Amino acid sequence: MLVYTTMKNFQPSPHTTLKRLPERGSFDRDTVNAILDEAFICHVGFAVDGQPFVIPTSYARVGDQLFIHGSAASRMLRSLSKGIPVCVTVTLVDGLVLARSAFHHSINYRSVVILGMAKPLTDEREKMAALHAFMEHIVPGRWGEVRQPDEQELKKTTVLSLPLTEVSAKVRTGPPKDDEADHALPVWSGELPLHVLAGMPLADAHTPASQQVPEYILRYDRRKK
């Protein structure tokens, strides 16, 4: 079942309360959702038999749930299906911050940390809805054109749902914060914005030359307006 809430903010916990630079922290739900909806790669942290792992993977957010999926044979997904604690992080890099001193160089970024325990989706309809969400999150408009998963493909795919309950965001924006004594140094200082931009689509060898590139691919843009 997909879960939605009307609560404006997430509730801080001892694990999500920032101790360093707390002014950069945010528990605002809109801020968190905007970051999750713009990015498409997360890093999943967990431990098996005392050995820590951090695995990058794709995800999708629907309401107050984060979906992670992959092969049913995946050690990560099999481990998380048992209900072990998990930490999921998502980061967007917005620019480089170039200061007059090496010490004050930084990066403008937006990040989210999610803590909790994931559960596997067993209902076929919910599983299919989650896979639809994955594709539409990465390439909006694609699901309606492609062949959808058949019964065997569904069996080979594990989908986990992680509730968005213990969550926080951290954001850095703006120019460098040089020491006042360094302001007179003859060094260029400022921000170098960075963006994820799509290149020219490249058709594979099995796509006929007459097959037009869909408009949603030609207009692809990860940046949220």
Task: Look at residue 167 and tell me if it is in a domain.
Answer: yes
Distance of CA 8 to the CA centre of its chain: 20
Task: Look at residue 112 and tell me if it is in a domain.
Answer: yes
- DSSP 8-state class, residue 175: S
CB of 134 within 8 A of CB of 60?
yes
What is the model's pTM? 0.89
CB of 106 within 8 A of CB of 144?
no
Residue 67: phi, psi to the nearest 5?
Answer: -105, 135
Task: Please state the domain count of the chain.
Answer: 1
Q: What is the pLDDT of residue 7?
A: 65
Task: Look at residue 206 and tell me if it is in a domain.
Answer: no
Task: Look at residue 71 and tell me if it is in a domain.
Answer: yes
Residue 172: phi, psi to the nearest 5?
Answer: -120, 130
**Residue range of the domain that includes 177:** 22-197
CB of 205 within 8 A of CB of 221?
no
Q: Over its length of 225 residues, how does the chain's per-residue pLDDT go in tens digits?
A: 444 455 688 888 888 877 777 777 788 999 999 999 999 999 999 999 889 999 999 999 999 999 999 998 898 999 999 999 999 999 999 999 999 999 999 999 999 999 999 999 999 999 999 999 999 999 999 999 999 999 999 999 999 999 999 999 999 999 999 999 999 999 999 999 999 889 999 999 999 999 999 999 999 988 765
Whichever domain contains 106, its CATH number is 2.30.110.10
Q: What is the pLDDT of residue 170?
A: 94
Q: What is the pLDDT of residue 179?
A: 96
Task: Look at residue 134 and tell me if it is in a domain.
Answer: yes
Task: Look at residue 106 and tell me if it is in a domain.
Answer: yes
Q: What is the pLDDT of residue 12?
A: 83
Task: Look at residue 211 and tell me if it is in a domain.
Answer: no
Task: Look at residue 216 and tell me if it is in a domain.
Answer: no
